[in-house]
Amino acid sequence: MTRKVFFAGVAMTLALVTGSALAADLPSYKAPPAYIPPPPMWTGFHVGLNAGGSWAASTATSFASAPFFINGADNVPWAAAMAIAGTGSLSTNGAAFIGGGQLGYDWQFNANFLAGIEADIQGLAGANNNAASVMLSPTPLSAAGLNLLTSVASGKSLDFLGTVRGRLGYLITPTLLAYATGGLAYGQATATTNFYQHVPNDTPGFLLLGASQGRYAQTRVGWTAGGGLEWLFWPQWSAKLEYLFYDLGAASYPVAVAADWQLTNLLVANATQARARFDGHVVRAGVNYHFNWGVAPIVAKF
């Protein structure tokens, strides 16, 4: 009986050892670890192109005349008539195509927030910012058939527009950024005003005439603010849609002097000055390439 128990125990031990050895030789069917893709990397430099449209916010170019010389009280009505006729405004609104490039740096400082800086410069083309008016107004001697003819033509434009802006954004999703932006704006502003004032069929011996052009051209500095959306549609490529308002301030410039003469005797002299404001709206789309320099690669751990 004891011998049978002994042999049974030996048999069971051999069976267990053999089974374990065979199980060790079988191939493993353990599932491979799941691949975890790295999150999008917004931190780093980017460079890109943009294109869109721009239109003026302040559409008027104003002009004003005022006397700076009056020879006697009898000529005050003439000075007033000339000043009234030489004062007004013209609407010089016009849309333009805008296009250029940008360069910037972004820093994603946590999972959802991003801060950065961006500089851009664009040219403007296709604007039609010119207007003109011609009017016939009464003079102190209108009863004698004398009227004051005044003609004014104005135009203004921006040759280029650039900005240097900060950006602060929130990641709605890992690949979709909503941001606000604002900072410095600069641009080459140009304005011209042609002025002509005359009394047709004036009394013999008298001549009232003013004919000249005033021109302003200068690089101006102001501010800009706006916002946009940017979508990282490829690991290093993004597309954006952006709105900006810019304000480069107002400029005044001399236009003409109109004078009324009796032979060689100066009776009245009026000066005319024009004023234009350079501000507007920009809506543009763009594409950026992200270099992601200095960003450590993300390695998944299993």
First to last CA, the chain: 56
Domain regions of the chain by residue span: 57-290
pLDDT of residue 110: 85
User: For residue range 85-136, what is the model confidence (pLDDT) as tens digits?
Assistant: 999 999 987 789 999 999 999 999 988 999 999 999 999 997 667 899 999 9
Report the percentage of the chain scoring pLDDT > 70.
83
Rounded to two decimals, the pTM is 0.82
* Contact partners, residue 5, CB within 8 Å, separation at least 6: none
In this predicted structure, the answer to whether residue 5 has a pLDDT above a threshold of 60 is no
- Distance, in Å, from the CA atom of 151 to the CA atom of 162, rounded to the nearest integer, reads 35
Q: Report which DSSP code applies to 143.
A: G
Average pLDDT, rounded, for the chain: 87
| Structure confidence at residue 40 (pLDDT) | 62
pLDDT, position 26: 47
Q: How many CA atoms lie within 13 A of 232 on its CB side?
A: 19
